[in-house]
Amino acid sequence: MEPKEYRQRVKRLEKPRPIVRNAFWAFVVGGTICLIGQLVQSGLMAIGYNQETVKAPTSIIMVFLGAVGTAFGFYDRIAKLGGMGANLPITGFSNAVVAPAMEFKQEGPIMGTGARIFQVAGPVIAYGLLAAFAVGIVRYAIMGFKP
């Protein structure tokens, strides 16, 4: 069999990903995380935060919950079920930073945790900054410099 023909056969025989089941669980898991986020936000607003000031503490609390879930070893299980539903919310970002921080502890605080903590989240941060910079340039070009 020629390699090209073989590759086509591999593709044909490959067991497809269970997309419908994955999408369902992504919806349930992602939705539950967002519901928790909403409850946190509503709770904070009930004790005096307003629509503007509530954003930062809500994010901080969700990041904390994601970190706790990672530290106690159950966030990866939630993500195995929920996929993107668990990766996309800010708790997933927290997981992406805390997991390598824990992982590389054995290689020491400098070359391990310090150097590798952004191994997974690094691209998001790097290209997030780049995108923000590009958007800033466009805004400047259209609207001129206004603080």
Partner 1 sequence: MSVETSREIRKRGHLRLDATLAEAATVVGPFEAQGPLGHLFDRVVQDELCGEQSYERAERCLMRGAVDLVLDRTGVSASDVDILFGGDLLDQITTTNFAGRDLGVPLVGVYSACATTSEALLLAGLAVTSGAADTVLAATASHHLSAERQYRYPLELGVQRVPTAQWTATGGAAFLLNRAERGAARLVAATVGSVQDYGLKDPSNMGAAMAPAAADTILRHLRARGQTSRDYDLILTGDLARSGLPLLEELLAEEREHPDHRLQDAGILLYAKAQDVHAGGSGAVCSALVLASLVLPRLRSGAMRRVLLVATGSLHSPRSYQQGETIPAVAHAVEMEAIT
Build a one-symbol-per-residue string for 88-107: x at contacts with partner 1 by CB under 8 A, - elsewhere. Answer: ----x--xx-xxx-xxx-x-
Minimum CB separation of residue 5 from partner 1 in Å reads: 9
Binding mask 24-63 for partner 1 (x = CB under 8 A): ----------------------------------------
For the CB of residue 49, give the shortest distance to partner 1 in the complex, in Å. 29
What DSSP string runs through 55-89?
A: HHHHHHHHHHHHHHHHHTT-HHHHHHHHTHHHHSS
Q: Are 77 and 64 in contact (CB under 8 A)?
A: no
- At closest approach, how far in Å is the CB of 118 from partner 1? 12
Q: Which of residues 71-90 bind partner 1 (CB under 8 A)?
A: 71, 73, 75-76, 78-80, 82-83, 86-87
Interaction site with partner 1 (CB under 8 A): 1-4, 6-7, 9-10, 13-18, 22, 70-71, 73, 75-76, 78-80, 82-83, 86-87, 92, 95-96, 98-100, 102-104, 106, 119-120
